[in-house]
Structure 1
Amino acid sequence: MAWLQLRLQTRHPEFAEELLLAHGAQSVSFVDAGDTPVLEPLPGETPLWAQTAVLALFAEDADPEPALAAIAAILPEQNPPVVTREIVEDQDWVRLCLDQMQAVHFGGALWICPRHRTVEDASAVVVRLDPGLAFGTGTHPSTSLCLRWLAQADIAGQRVLDYGCGSGILAIAALKLGAAAATGVDIDPQALTASLENARDNEVELTVSDVSGFKTAPYDLVLANILAGPLIELAPLLSACVRPGGQLVLAGLLDRQAEEVASAYAGDFEIEAVSDEGWTRLVGTRLP
């Protein structure tokens, strides 16, 4: 089965969605029309991109003219948005995405591998992970920076806190690399569910908790791959979670945000910064 896809860009995507659905669209989705990703919004928030494109799917033989007429007549724009049409073939989109995923080496013995792939190196430490409920498969530069640090770090026997765990990828990688225990914390219940499922699939034991229920007792290593604003706000809490001499790894911040985030932790840590593709990783060693 094929579909007729309409694509338009408007300052009022929610309004366009209502009009399209009212005139026969089978589904409507929003995509980034620029290059401004929205990462890990807070609970209850549903932010859109500064430039949002609206994609509407109609049956291949449907007449889209009533929808287009409504868009032109009712949408509160100075000029009607430009609409493009395309026939798209139906596919198993999930399977297509999975088939395109490959195992990725992050240095040392560490690999992140989709479940349907294999890593031939017998000495490899493999974390098996497919895209799912929560953010984090290692493809984003901020996650990659954290995984590359873990791959070369000596964390054997350490107690690890992964604050903002998402899919659990960092905590699971730490456990596979020899950490004695790991706790994943997140504000999103789906992230905690995904982390537990991924930990079971990787045959490691992970403790998870929401932000109000985890133990703040000092850890050997604290990982926080979230966003610059929360990292600054959480500086007193995350700092208190690291034992003297322990390490703190912060990511999810743009290069231009690094200095401000580092300054929030500078009183308690000796900090080093590494940048990749416009994103920065900060690694701090807790001062005595």
Structure 2
Amino acid sequence: MGCFSKDIFSIIKNSSSKHTLNELVKICRLKYNIGVADVKKTMRELVERGDIEYINVLGNTFPVVSFSKAARLSVKIIVCPPDISPDKDNPDDIIIRLEKTTSFGRGDHPTTRLSLAGCEKFFSWREKKGGYALDMGCGTGILAMASVFMGIEKAYGVDIDPVAVFDAEKNILLNNLEEKVFVSNTWPEQIYFDLIFANLRPPTLFKFRKKFESILYESGGVVISGYKKEEEKSVLDEFSKSFGYVKSWSEKKWCSALFYGKEY
């Protein structure tokens, strides 16, 4: 594998948006001083090894992380395509199968990994199982499903994108969670929640902060992500108005935090 493979793969994996090959060439030249020929050669090697693949979205072709292998997203969570049966490294591992979609990939964006880590932190501090979870902007449904596998009784995902709802419903069926995880583009009937996920950009996080306060049980937790390091202080200050701050963590330029209801 070429000496530039890690750099190029990192750009594709950690970018907040998809890039065409020409855009990727420009980024590599500016960021790593990698020439066009080296970028294209490395891309061929990454495809041949099965690390990346090309997808077509509305007539544009984008290189993305391949979804042909299982991938560990957190301490406990492993995701894989439907036809893969990965081995568990330990008995506590949780395997979540996801359909391949052009809209959300395999859920391995840094903010998703951070949110999954937040789910694990929530259950490490709160021994009580059961209760209800809400995932605002649910995408593939991975956070809602993970929360149920870790101990939540029922989870509700909300997304205004009909494609997200459709994809999440397929993933729920694939993981046999249709009686425990529900997704919709409207607010769920459940009134109060024990755990809320909000992997959203700051303006939307701020918009929902008071709503989250009104629907969270006092013994519940809120996992937020989707904001960058330079935005962290303003986000934490905003959510500290409604919740008790517990801990923050980060990956690359992205951040996440766990808050508890005021009872704590």
Relative to the length of structure 1, the TM-score reads 0.64
Cα contact 1:189–1:210 (8 A) shared by 2: yes
Match in the other structure for 2:258: 283
Q: Per-residue deviation at 1:138?
A: 3.3
Give the 3-state SS of the residue equivalent to 2:144 in structure 1. helix
CA distance in 2, matches of 1:110, 1:53: 32
Residue 245 (structure 1) aligns with: 219
Inter-partner Cα distance in structure 1 for 2:112 and 2:189: 24
Cα root mean square deviation, aligned:
3.4
Q: 1:177 offset after TM fit, Å? A: 1.8
CA 1:38/1:98 → structure 2, altered by over 3 Å: closer, same or farther? closer
Offset from partner CA, 1:163-208 (integer Å, 9 cap, x none) = 1100101001111222100000011111111111100000112211
1:97 aligns with 2:72: no
Between the aligned partners of 2:148 and 2:160, the Cα distance in structure 1 is: 22
- 2:155 corresponds in structure 1 to 182
Q: Distance in 1 between matches of 2:250 and 2:148?
A: 25
Identity of aligned residues (%): 24
Aligned length, in residue pairs: 215
| Counterpart-to-counterpart distance in 2, 1:105 and 1:53 | 27
- Say if 2:204 is the partner of 1:204: no
Structure with greater helix percent: 2
What is the DSSP-based 3-state SS (H/G/I as helix, E as strand, rest coil) of the residue aligned with 1:161?
A: strand
Q: Is the alpha carbon distance of 1:152 and 1:198 closer, same or farther for their aligned partners in structure 2, counting shifts above 3 Å?
A: same
The whole-number CA distance in structure 2 between the counterparts of 1:166 and 1:248 is 18
Work out the CA distance in 2 between the residues paired with 1:105 and 1:273: 18
Distance in 2, matches of 1:250 and 1:54, equals 30
Q: Does 1:147 align with 2:116?
A: yes
- From 81, 87, 100, the equivalent of 1:114 is 81
Contact 2:70–2:78, Cα closer than 8 Å, also in 1:
no
In the alignment, what sits opposite 1:3?
A: none
Which of these residues, 152, 166, 169, is aligned with residue 193 of structure 1?
166
Equivalent in the alignment of 1:171 = 144
2:232 counterpart of 1:258? yes
Q: 1:143 to 1:241 in 2, by over 3 A?
A: same
Shift of 1:277: 0.8
- Equivalent-residue separation in structure 1 for 2:192 and 2:198 (angstroms): 15
CA distance in 2, matches of 1:216, 1:164: 17
Pairwise CA distance, 1:286: 0.9
**What is the CA–CA distance in structure 1 between the aligned matches of 2:224 and 2:73, rounded to whole Å?**
21
> Is contact 2:162-2:185 (8 Å) kept?
yes
Query: Residue 98 of structure 1 aligns to which amino acid in structure 2?
Result: F
- C-alpha deviations, 1:243-288, integer Å up to 9, x for none? 1121000011101111111222212211122122111101100104
CA–CA distance in 1 between the matches of 2:209 and 2:219?
Answer: 17
Preserved contact between residue 158 and residue 180 of structure 1 (Cα < 8 Å): yes
For normalisation by structure 2, the TM-score amounts to: 0.69
Asked which structure has the greater CA Rg, the reply is: 1
| C-alpha spacing 1:54/1:275, structure 2 compared with 1 (3 Å) | closer
Q: Distance in 1 between matches of 2:102 and 2:169?
A: 12
Q: 1:152 to 1:248 in 2, by over 3 A?
A: closer
Structure 2 residues not aligned, in runs of 5+ = 1-10, 26-35, 56-64
**Which amino acid in structure 2 is aligned with residue 37 of structure 1?**
S
Q: Deviations over 1:195-230 (max 9, x none)?
A: 11100000112211224x323611000001121111
- In structure 1, distance between residues paired with 2:157 and 2:105: 13
Matched residue SS, 2:66: helix
Equivalent pair of 2:138/2:144 in contact (CA under 8 Å): yes
Seen in structure 2, the aligned counterparts of structure 1 residues 199 and 256 have a Cα distance that, compared at 3 Å, is same
Mapped to 1, the partners of 2:135 and 2:105 lie a distance apart of 13
